[in-house]
A and B are shown apart, each in its own frame.
Chain A
């Protein structure tokens, strides 16, 4: 058995960054506020660097319950990379003096740590712990502003999370009772001989919490309310980073033990996927609040992200999911960065943006068209890979439904893009927040670079 703490160096870096930031705030609430962001960023950067190093080291299972493999390493890197811009956005919100506290950086780091742990979990108990670690800082983040919408959002987030988390615990308990073990490798062997109906109940309960983290049906109810009520930087974080861990955990479970169970888990996830993408797209149609629009957009993206999981064990499933996760993170952060930069929450605020800030308008167009799956953006490539994988996996009808949904989604993305490039009804407006604008440019560029370079590098 391997139990070298140094194998967990990336996780430890994030943890130490967060703890040091918290200590700094405790010691000196005023002075620490300046340093906390830097400390957390340092921890995340350390995580990124050590994850890259770890990617070239031999993998394996440590402490009997934590898996070190490309999946874990990619989520380590992507989570760190995705959290860093959230820190920048949070600083931008802080700088405006609007409803955030310096603790947001610490909480984001801790939630990121939870996401990484979700991805690495090789045991149901670790999964539950990681679920809590990823969720609890999120509740606090949502309510950190202390205003009425934030508080309401935090409460809803917490209640839905607690309810579905309890269900997940129930599912874990059931599985443990049925199989006699909670470790993935053992579960795989034990679930073959177990009555199918019992496994179905256990899996449905288990997925409840995972869907809560992923923002998919039926755990999606919090997404629009939190995205609208919480500060924009927090909204960007909770709709991006926890998803990474949730889908990685789902993929690992599918690969490790779901394939050996008698239950038709693929159909289960396929139905969830169809419900998620369709509901998300339809509900986004008539939105006038861009935050809610983006929230429903992230729900529909969660539906597409389920496709590669359904496709397991197709060889393309893993690369498709990992690439799509990265592409999704970049695009979602870019779109939220534009919202933070402009400070406008409704569609009425966007006509004439191309005149006031052409670069920001272009970045927004790149991100939204990327969501709709327009080449040569990263999400387009991710979608192609995901559709191909699910087609190979024998779920052609699911690929067709997903493609139809993609076409339909163009409607509401264009509802946002078109006014941006129309002349403003009244000239003038706020100057965009610099750091957020830069984040948006970087995200849009990364989306294009990933789309072009990925098309060259990745297998079709």
Chain B
């Protein structure tokens, strides 16, 4: 039992709440406070990763809730805190999108981080759900941060409602877990009774696919792009979308126990990686390209959970977090500097500031899986396991990997092209500071693939016996990625596909298949409510008043008269009651005698007859 697991999320959480409650008054100190808090949280996270504390508390009758830092959690908490620290440093220097309402922005970011920390350390579904939900709510608030912009708020709604639709699965899972195992412990879910276990798995998979923006719910991530760049950076790297992948990796035993869920997850991930790779390639907007690539890369992690590549999936998650936060921050710099995200207008942007440009180049090449950068290794460690699983799966994943090389090359080629950039605004030192750090991590995290390092990594995650990235596979993927990247850089194909440009029409499909029928049903139910139920209620009211009027006119006079008659009658009786008190003693005595005689006769007679 230790306080550290509680302290870790509580520190950023309480700091976030304090900033939110204080409001505009804290705008000045908010950046410094938030960065300091995140730095301390990072120290705590490292401490927790080393000591592996656990803590539980009674929740409801017979249930315990707990937080614990085990191998997977320790990787996640350090990643979350490190990425959050880097992004908040960037945001502290950001003079663009989050210039206003800094207390609100940093408060929400801290609370968002705290929720992610709870999610990745929870040992039971109750706390996990709590973190999960707070994270969803914060994502809504952050995507719609510029609330004066109506379209931003609408996009936030789309993102929130879509992820919430998946979240329903987690509630179903919690209920079924309680029914099946009698507890909410994550570790015990795989041992549940038969029908319940399958329902739990279905709920968890639905929630995770929704959160991780996998097919067919990918479109919300496109809408999430309207948020400020630091928000995108945090949302797409170590939090939110990562939560879905984390949950699936964490519950890999449950997926394996049901059988079908593991196949479903593996293929959902692989297809997402492939199709969203196509989508990414078709984008003209840098942030949209990166968003689609996030879906695709998370597809690899989800596939890892399906095929059981625990160590590979976790490594890919960490490496991708560094890469993607870096790329979004760079996109943020250019958006602030040039006011555009259009790849065509960003030509030559990377040449204006070499720190930003080189960092972006390193990150993008890593995203494309170019050796020797990190994602090349981590992706291959997943593909190695997938190849053993099914050659078809491997083929799809390899195609997806080549697509990632293609869209990464497209982005690099666009920003490094020689071009004329107008209206440049120099990024501040704080904005530039995290970029090389993240680039370094993006470049070197591939070292995890070295056999001795991977061995330790496997042990850390408790995935003994999982094969590391194979040399043959590495060679093949590396050569192909280099070839594709080189081709992409040389010919700069403005590859465009109308269907892929708007994300395969997923949002329209969802709107057509789900939103419209639901709204139509809601409208008809509302009509039913207005006409029938409300009408009945109004009818009762009207009938009541009518009846009351009738009673007032017809019956009340009678009741009133009765009351008056009772009063008058009692008054007359009262007069009568004073009559015996004549004041004359002889009448008293006579009356008393009559009374007694009467009593005697009555009692004697009743006794007689009985």
A binds B: yes
| Residues of chain A at the chain B interface (Cβ within 8 Å) | 155-156, 159-160, 163-164, 167, 196-197, 200-201, 204-205, 208, 217-219, 221-222, 224-225, 262-265, 267-268, 271-272, 275, 278-279, 282-286, 408
Minimal beta-carbon separation of B577 from chain A (angstroms): 4
- Closest residue of chain B to A158, judged by CB? B585
Task: Determine if B606 and A264 form an interchain contact, defined as CB atoms under 8 angstroms apart.
Answer: yes
Contacts of B571 in A (CB 8 A): 285-286
- Nearest Cβ distance between residue A411 and chain B, in whole angstroms? 8
Best-surrounded residue of A200, A263, A284 (most CB of chain B within 10 A): A200
Measured CB to CB, the nearest residue on chain B to A285 is B574
What are 5 of the A-B contact pairs (CB < 8 Å)?
A159-B589, A196-B604, A197-B608, A283-B581, A286-B571
* Complex-state Cα separation, A217 to B591, whole angstroms: 10
Q: Is B599 an interface position by the 8 A CB rule? A: yes
B573 beta carbon closer than 8 Å to chain A: yes
B592 nearest in chain A by CB position: A218
Interchain CB contact under 8 A, A271 and B602: yes
Q: In the complex, which of the residues B570, B581, B595, B606 contacts A267, with contact meaning CB atoms closer than 8 Å?
A: B606
In the complex, are the beta carbons of A160 and B585 less than 8 A apart?
Answer: yes
Are the CB atoms of A286 and B596 closer together than 8 Å?
A: no
Contact of A268 (CB < 8 Å), options: B578, B599, B608: B599
Q: Is B392 positioned at the interface, with any CB of A under 8 Å from its CB?
A: no
Query: Are A264 and B599 neighbours in the complex by a CB distance under 8 Å?
Result: no
A164 to B593, CA, bound (A): 9
Chain A residues within an 8 Å CB radius of B589: 159-160, 163
In whole angstroms, how far apart are the Cα atoms of A217 and B575 in the complex? 18
Bound complex: CA A179 to CA B3 (Å): 90
- Known A156-B585, A282-B574: A208·B592 in contact at CB below 8 Å: yes
Determine how close the nearest CB of chain B comes to the CB of A348; give it in whole angstroms. Answer: 19
The 9 closest A-B pairs by CB, nearest first: A218-B595, A285-B574, A282-B577, A221-B588, A283-B577, A218-B592, A204-B600, A282-B574, A200-B604
Known: A268-B603, A285-B574. 7 other contacts (CB 8 A): A159-B588, A163-B592, A263-B607, A264-B607, A267-B603, A272-B599, A282-B577
- Does B585 lie within 8 Å of A159, measured CB to CB? yes
Distance of A278 Cα from B571 Cα, bound (Å)? 13
Which one of B570, B595, B608, B610 lies within 8 Å of A282 (CB-CB)?
B570
CB of B576 closer than 8 Å to a CB of A: yes
Instruction: Kindly state the separation between the CA atoms of A208 and B599 in the bound complex, as whole angstroms.
Output: 11
Closest-CB distance, B603 to chain A (whole angstroms): 5
Known: A218-B592, A221-B588. A204 touches B603 (CB 8 A): yes
Question: CB-defined interface of B562-583 with A at 8 Å, one 1/0 digit per residue?
Answer: 0000000011011111101101
Contact A197 B596 (CB under 8 A): no
**Could you say which residues of chain A place their CB within 8 Å of the CB of B585?**
155-156, 159-160
Majority secondary structure of chain A interface residues (helix, strand, loop or mixed): helix
Minimum C-beta distance from B24 to chain A (A) = 55
What is the chain A residue whose CB lies nearest that of B574? A285
Give the interface centre of A205, A275, A285 by most chain B CB atoms within 10 Å. A285
A275 to B591, alpha carbons, bound, how many Å?
A: 13
A416 to chain B, nearest CB (A): 15
Contact string, B535-576, partner A, CB cutoff 8 A, digits 1/0?
000000000000000000000000000000000001101111
* Contact yes or no, B604 A201, CB < 8 A: yes
CB neighbours (8 Å) of A156 from chain B are: 585, 588
Within the complex, the shortest CB–CB distance from A355 to chain B, in Å, comes to 30
- Within 8 Å CB of B577, what residues of A? 278-279, 282-283, 285
**B578 and chain A: residue at smallest CB distance:** A283
Residue of B nearest to A198 (CB): B604
Complex Cα distance, B127 from A436, in Å, reads 72
A389–B367 alpha-carbon span in the complex (Å)? 91
Whether the pair B592, A282 counts as a contact (CB closer than 8 A) is no
Q: How far is the CB of A417 from chain B (nearest CB, A)?
A: 18
Report Cα–Cα, A156/B585, bound state, in Å. Answer: 6
A408 touches B570 (CB 8 A): yes
Return chain B residues, CB-CB under 8 Å to A208: 592, 596
**A257 → B minimal CB distance (Å):** 17
A218, B574: Cβ atoms under 8 Å? Answer: no
| CB-based contact A164/B581 at 8 Å | no
* Chain B residue nearest in CB terms to A160: B588
Q: Provide the bound-state CA to CA distance between A53 and B26, in Å.
A: 76
A159-B589, A160-B589 are contacts. A200–B573 as well, Cβ < 8 Å? Answer: no
Would you call B581 and A262 a contact (CB within 8 A)? no
Contact across chains for A283 and B574 when beta carbons are under 8 A apart: yes
Cβ distance A244 to chain B, nearest Cβ, rounded Å: 22
The smallest C-beta distance from A54 to any residue of chain B, in angstroms, reads: 37
Residues of A within 8 A of B600 (CB): 200-201, 204
**Chain A residues within an 8 Å CB radius of B578:** 283, 286
Expressed in whole angstroms, the minimum distance between the Cβ of A192 and any Cβ of chain B is 14
Evaluate whether A221 and B591 lie within 8 angstroms (CB atoms) in the complex, with A200-B603, A262-B607 already known. Answer: yes
In the complex, chain A residues whose CB is within 8 Å of the CB of B592: 160, 163-164, 208, 218-219, 221
The CA-CA distance from A219 to B593 in the complex, in Å, is 10
**Contact (Cβ within 8 A) A282 B573:** yes
Residue on A with the closest CB to B600?
A204
Contact of A286 with B603 in the complex, beta carbons under 8 Å: no
Q: Which residue of B lies closest to A262 (CB)?
A: B607
How would residues 420 to 454 of chain B score, 1 for a CB under 8 Å from any chain A CB and 0 otherwise? 00000000000000000000000000000000000
B515 CB to closest chain A CB (Å) equals: 62
Residues of A within 8 A of B595 (CB): 217-218, 275
Q: How far is the CA of A225 from the CA of B600 in the complex (A)?
A: 27
What are the residues of chain B within 8 A of A221 when measuring CB–CB?
Answer: 580-581, 588, 591-592
Residues of chain B with a CB closer than 8 A to A268's CB = 599, 603
Of B570, B574, B580, B610, which one neighbours A264 at CB under 8 angstroms? Answer: B610
Bound CA–CA A217/B600 (angstroms):
14
Query: In the bound complex, what is the Cα–Cα distance between A441 and B224 (angstroms)?
Result: 78
Asked if A286 contacts B575 (CB within 8 A), the reply is yes
CB proximity of A317 to chain B, nearest CB, Å: 21
Q: Say how far A159's CB is from chain B's closest CB, in angstroms.
A: 5
Complex Cα gap A265–B604 (Å):
10
Complex Cα distance, B594 from A167, in Å, reads 13
Within the complex, the shortest CB–CB distance from A224 to chain B, in Å, comes to 6
With A285-B571, A286-B578 as contacts: A200 and B596 at CB distance below 8 Å: no
Residue of A nearest to B579 (CB): A283
Distance in angstroms from A281 CB to nearest chain B CB is 8
Q: Is the CB of B607 within 8 A of A167?
A: no
For residue B567, which residue of chain A has the nearest CB?
A: A411
Task: For B580, list chain A residues within 8 Å (CB).
Answer: 221
What is the CB-to-nearest-CB distance from B179 to chain A, in angstroms, rounded to a whole number?
A: 46
Pick the residue among B574, B591, B610 that contacts A286 (CB under 8 A).
B574
> Nearest-CB distance from A297 to chain B (Å)?
13
CB-defined interface of B243-268 with A at 8 Å, one 1/0 digit per residue? 00000000000000000000000000
Select from chain A the residue with minimum beta-carbon distance to B582.
A221
> Which residues of the other chain, B, contact A264 by a CB distance below 8 angstroms?
603, 606-607, 610
B583 surroundings in chain A (CB, below 8 A): 225
A218 contacts B581, CB within 8 Å?
Answer: no
Residues on the B chain within 8 Å of A278, using CB: 577
What separation, in Å, do the CA atoms of A400 and B328 have in the docked complex? 85
Q: What B residues does A196 contact at CB under 8 A?
A: 604, 607-608
Complex CA–CA separation, A284 to B581 (angstroms):
12
- Residues of chain A contacted by B610 (CB below 8 angstroms): 264
Measured CB to CB, the closest approach of chain A to B370, in angstroms, equals 86
Q: Return chain A residues, CB-CB under 8 Å to B602.
A: 271
B574 touches A200 (CB 8 A): no
Contacts of A218 in B (CB 8 A): 591-592, 595-596
Residue of A nearest to B583 (CB): A225
Contact across chains for A224 and B581 when beta carbons are under 8 A apart: yes
Report the Cα distance A284→B585, complex, angstroms: 20
Q: How far is the CA of A285 from the CA of B585 in the complex (A)?
A: 23
- Distance of A285 Cα from B571 Cα, bound (Å): 7
Distance of A326 Cα from B321 Cα, bound (Å):
86
Q: For residue B575, which residues in chain A have a CB less than 8 angstroms away from its CB? A: 286
Docked CA distance A265–B573 (Å): 28
Contacts of B604 in A (CB 8 A): 196-197, 200-201
* A205 and B588 contacting across the interface, CB-CB below 8 Å: no
